[in-house]
Structure 1
Amino acid sequence: MPSPAHVAEGAIQVLALLQADPEFDAFRAASLEYSDDWQCFTGFPVVSEWQLEKDAAPLFEEGLRALALKASVHALTGDEQAAEITIAVPVDEMTHAMLAQSQLLHRITARHGIQIIHQTDQEHVDYMSTGYTADCYRIAWGEPPARYWLDHTEVTRRREHLAGLYESIGMGRSGREHSIQFEAVA
């Protein structure tokens, strides 16, 4: 893997290019508007006292930084698998909302020759604050916000707690199934 300093340098440049693009504001607005579809039971809800209105904008910034780090690794290595560096679960969830704005994101990245890497079956959400991603992030922007950059062990603990709560209202497998019977529509 490239040195964290080289990744950080590239990520800072990628982030600046994205933010300076004439369509960036539209991309940001579209990503944040995606909120009506943010119904994941195990991504955002692991954030303590999650509140969409309060957390969406700062989490967008973290998702953007994560994509910039991944793009930088890819630019330095040319390796898509290497670029799938570990990302914290809530941050990864936000990148999904961002990637859903595919036309805008494609136009922005194409203008600047940036390759955004994300493939669900290749992603790594086992982020740890003592790992490579955290080292790269710290060099680029300082300490990752612990509210969103949760260690994998803490995410696992919180998901187990949430699963118990979901089970108590009839939702199994953390929202992947339920035993709720709805009234027949007349």
Structure 2
Amino acid sequence: MKLIPITSIFLLILATSCNTSDSETIIAKNKLGLLSPSTKVSEVNTILINDSIAEFDLESKFNKVSEIEVFNKEGNISLVIEPNYQNDSLVTINEVQILDPKYRTKKGLSIDSNFKTIYENYKIDNIQNSINSVILSIDEIGAYIVIDKKHLPSKLKFDSEIKIEANQIPDEAPFKYFWIRFEEPNL
């Protein structure tokens, strides 16, 4: 009889710990793990306690920090945070470049995904053709993803004026960059 309550408590603890780790790495609209649009850049060290944050000085009067690098336990860059300077005292997060595959959406989209993952799970709101890349906007999660044109059919690689459709991008095309943009917080 005592085995059932102990097993229940163990399963509850296990489920809670799994949810915590998921919540620390999930990508969603205006969320990247525990980061949100209202997160102050000065709080990043305390929120990402398992990572190392490159030193930065927001107080410099002449140079504003343009990006903050976050390193994982192995010493690799996992995130690049771009601050949003709203006024002298409040600096929040504007955009985050995701470099670590541990960060993913509930539908499995991560930096290690390919175009097929986007095409099968998300509405692509805009496809922008640039000189060397194609930029995909996914408003549902506030993301834009860059695919190098070297992965496109040859007729699309060298023309930055041609309109590119989603069905012209190969399923196996990998991501070059994966960015999440945060909307302005309501203060």
- Structure with a larger share of its residues in strand: 2
TM-score class normalised by the smaller sequence: under 0.3
Higher relative contact order (CA 8 A, sep 6+): 1
- Normalised TM-score (structure 2): 0.26
Bigger Cα Rg? 2
